[in-house]
Amino acid sequence: MTAIITATELAEELTGGNPPVLLDVRWQLSLAKAAGAPPFDGAAEYAAGHIPGAAFVDLDRELASAPGAAGRHPLPDLAEFGAAMRRAGVSAGRPVVVYDGGQGWAAARAWWLLRRTGHPDVRVLDGGLPSWRGALSKEVRAPAEGDFVPEPVAEGLLDADGAAALARTGVLLDARAGERYRGEVEPVDRVGGHIPGAVSAPTTENVGPDGLFLPPAELRDRFKALGVSPDTEVGVYCGSGVSGAHEVLALAVAGIPAALYAGSWSEWSADPSRPVAVGADPQ
């Protein structure tokens, strides 16, 4: 089962006998508060036009817990996450397709959570809403209640100690922009830099100019150049576990399993006792 779906394939499946549940997870990492501008409003974007039948999911409230010691986007409470998914119409027996505004980060976060908590069939719309060529709807209605009950995440999840160890024994990829990895700028967290031993691998380089994922062979070549081999244990982190999920998705498209450090740099950097590396050298 592939982890992504094209807009053409989605349009065909929506007219089939078992159409997927559609989740709209439009979200942006917003620095508007510091700049004095209004923050991005995903719900308003959804109300202004969405793929017909899609239900809106709020990343900050339904795909994460409140910010704190565990980072800016800690994993959500399992019961609350399950209730949110059922409200959105998610059932275990129906496929799910998730999309966002095109960046892919938020959709990947929903994909990762649903897959890791037991849903058998979840895909991300490649290219997000900009790739959709059909009509949009402004109708906002509650879908039929779903029956999905999430299971605790049993594998594919790293904590801070696990990420530190993997940076020494396998490959730990840092999905943030290179300048944040190097510590040249840090617009959000306490300090800049990276986990010692981590390799810079900006998730933006997993897609082409059209916003679509690179072909699987090209992604495999990219990750091979970063040190990933068939027998390598791979982990990913980012700022707060959102863009890192997109890198895990890119790895899945390439056929490479990877774990996610959900707390990511926002958790790591908040603890002054944890080491910080700066510059282009992983160490």
E-strand ranges in the chain read: 4-5, 21-24, 55-56, 96-99, 122-125, 157-158, 171-174, 199-200, 234-237, 259-261
| DSSP helix/strand/coil, 103 | coil
Give 191's strand partners: none
Residues in the chain: 283
Main-chain phi, psi angles of 125, to 5 degrees = -70, 115
**188-221: per-residue pLDDT in tens?**
899 999 999 999 999 999 999 999 999 999 999 9
238 labelled catalytic:
yes
Catalytic residue of the set 90, 106, 238, 250: 238
pLDDT at residue 59, rounded to an integer:
96
| DSSP helix/strand/coil, 158 | strand
What is the distance between the alpha carbons of residues 174 and 211, in angstroms, rounded to a whole number? Answer: 20
Written as tens digits, the pLDDT of the chain (283 aa) is 589 999 999 999 999 999 999 999 999 876 545 566 678 899 999 999 999 999 999 999 999 999 999 999 999 999 999 999 999 999 999 999 999 999 999 999 999 999 999 999 999 999 999 999 999 999 988 899 999 999 999 899 999 999 999 999 999 999 999 999 999 999 889 999 999 999 999 999 999 999 999 999 999 999 999 999 988 999 999 999 999 999 999 999 999 999 999 999 999 999 999 999 999 999 8
pLDDT at residue 29, rounded to an integer:
76
For the entire predicted model, the pTM comes to: 0.95
Strand order across the beta sheet in which 157-158 lies: 157-158, 259-261, 234-237, 171-174, 199-200
